[in-house]
Structures are given as structure tokens and as C-alpha cells.
Amino acid sequence: MVDRPNKPTALATTPGLPPQPQVNISHDAGRVSASLPTGETVDILLYGATVISWKDRAGNEKLWLSEAAKLDGSKAIRGGIPIVFPVFGQAPDHAATSKLPQHGFARTSRWELLGKSTSESAGMSDSSVKLDFGLSSASLSDDVKALWPYTFSIIYSVTLSQEGLATSIVITNDGEEAFESQVLLHTYLRIEDITTVSVTGLEGSAYIDKVDGAKLKSQSSTISITQETDRVYTPSTDPSQPVVITSNGEQVFSVVRDGLRDVVVWNPWTDKAMSMPDFEPKDGYKNMLCVEAGSVRDWTKLEPGEAFEGGQTISY
């Protein structure tokens, strides 16, 4: 046998793949659930494409969901992250949206799961899962089309990572007529005690105080919640500058916006919570705070073929 000086070495054994992010679809309940190998999870209903749960690796819930929330598609969901489009609240003086229900129709429409994508690494340090949902004018009921007869499509993406949760939206005018709209990611954050919470990052910002006759005011300092609060801020800083929620001086959430100029801060407090049938428990206002990224102070006009993009990233 000829002795070969450069013998080929044995092939190395192919290492096993690391655990992969998982996506499960419950067709009966219309729910999409995703989890990371490290334990983080997210649940989204196709009804409204509403995120109803987001948990960290230890199983701690990060979103507040009313115990009386209807998850059967019978009404808008109280809690989680509903999508507000094409109108924020009601706009009786805006002809195109004056007939629409509170907060529009996106949160009460059935969306379609368009697809999923994952990223992994051997060390799982950057594993994530992205879920894409779609809604278009073609999928709306005739009743809704009659109220808002524009041709559009929306792609809404929810990305779960170890660092946090990102939600983004792309709205495209697919028709031949321009339209105006508003959009808001109506995020209910779960907190331990509202009396210990402060919000920073909005200092120096103008805001509309909806509890005080829609007066225009300016935020001079850190925000503390001591009564019913319903404010629409237009921050003076770049959207990439975080709005930070702290409890007893320690950060519990950070919200970074992308393309969304406004921030709504809302807590119903005692009387308002008592007046809402689907807000349970009635003292649940102590354990939630809405910090909502959106574009709602003015109207965004989209000409035919134009698109609007915006999003937020919530970390803890």
C-alpha cells in the first residue's frame, strides 16, 4: 500500500442544531403563538392582529389584559396591543372617518397570517421570530367598506426577541384616490403598582390633555400618574430617543419609536375604570399603563401608491 503523506482526515461529526424558535397556530381559536428556546413567548389573535400576551423567559407577563376582555371576536379587545386605524378615537369633523366606530376597524377585523421567519445562532444570543399579518380592503365586510371605501393593504409585523418585542406596520394606498388616516399601537403595559411609576423622555414636549378639555400644554418634568390621565404627546426629541417607564427608580420598560411621532399616555384611574364594563378587575388600573406609539395628532395623507411605515420596540 502506498503511504500517502496527505491523507484525508475523517469528516467531523455534524453538530446537532441548537433549539429553534417555535410557532404554533390554533385554527379553532384563531391564535398564533411563538416561543424562543430561552423561554420568551408571544400570543397574537387573528382577530384584530391583537397581541394578547408577551412573557419574558421567566414567564412574567409584560402586557395587561382585562379579565373581562372578549377574545371571541364579539368586540374589541381590552388590553394587549390593539391596532388603531384609520382613526384615533372618533372624528366627527373629519368627513372620511366620521362614520367609523371608536378607533376604527383594524382592531375588530380578522387578519391573515402571511408568514413567519426566524433567526438563530449557536449560542441563541440573537434568536428571534417574526410574524407577519395582513389586512386589506378586499377582506373587509361590505358594511365597513361602505363606511370607509378606500383601497388599501396593511402588513403588520410582530418580532419576539430576547431583548423585547417589536411591532411595525406598513400601510399602502392601493387605490386611485388619496386618503387620510391615523394609526396607533395601543399598548397596555403591565406594572406592579401605578403609584410607584414614572415616565421620562417626554420632558419639554407639547401635549393635548384630553381630560382637561383638550387643552394644549407642555410637559415640564417627569410624568407621575395620580389621577385619570389621557394625553397625546408630540415629543420634542427624535423618535429613536426612548420613552422610559420606571418603578421605584428602576427601569421596567423602554419604548423606542420608528416613524411614529406621537405618544399617548393613558390610565383610566378609578371612575373611568368603573364605567367600562370590559375593564376587570376594577382596580386593574393600578397594574397597567398605556404608553402608545402612533401618528394621531394630525392626519397622514397617502396619495395613490404611497405607503406609510411606523413601529415601536419595547424592551425591559
pLDDT digits (tens, 9 = 90+) for 211-222: 999 999 999 999
For the annotated catalytic residues, the residue numbers are: 186, 292
| Integer CA distances (angstroms), 249 to 103, 222, 227, 300, in order | 34, 12, 20, 37
Identify the pLDDT of residue 16.
Answer: 58
Identify the pLDDT of residue 28.
Answer: 73
pLDDT tens digits along 153-178: 999 999 999 999 999 999 999 999 99
- Cell numbers describing residue 47: 382577530
- Taking residues 109-117, report their average pLDDT: 96
Identify the pLDDT of residue 119.
Answer: 79
- Taking residues 273-285, report their average pLDDT: 98
Residues in the chain: 316
Coil vs helix vs strand at 67: coil
Percent of the chain at pLDDT exceeding 70: 92
Reply yes or no: is the peptide bond before residue 18 cis, omega within 30 of 0: no
Identify the pLDDT of residue 29.
Answer: 74
Q: Where are the domains of the chain?
A: 22-315
Residue with cell 364579539: 74
Residue 312 has pLDDT above 60, yes or no: yes
pLDDT tens digits along 45-104: 999 999 999 999 999 999 999 999 999 999 999 999 999 999 999 999 999 999 999 999
Architecture of 22-315 per CATH? Answer: Distorted Sandwich (2.70)
Q: Which of 80, 34, 32 is nearest to 53 (CA)?
A: 80
Residue 12 has pLDDT above 50, yes or no: no
- Taking residues 124-136, report their average pLDDT: 87
Residues at the annotated binding site? 78, 102, 107
User: Model's pTM, two decimal places?
Assistant: 0.91
C-alpha torsion angle, residues 68, 69, 73, 79 (rounded to 10): 170
pLDDT tens digits along 221-276: 999 999 999 999 999 888 989 999 999 999 999 999 999 999 999 999 999 999 99
pLDDT, averaged across the chain = 93
Residue 307 has pLDDT above 80, yes or no: yes
Could you give the CA distance from residue 288 to residue 217 in angstroms, rounded to a whole number? 24
- pLDDT confidence of 123, banded at 50, 70, 90? very low
Residues at the annotated binding site for substrate? 78, 102, 107
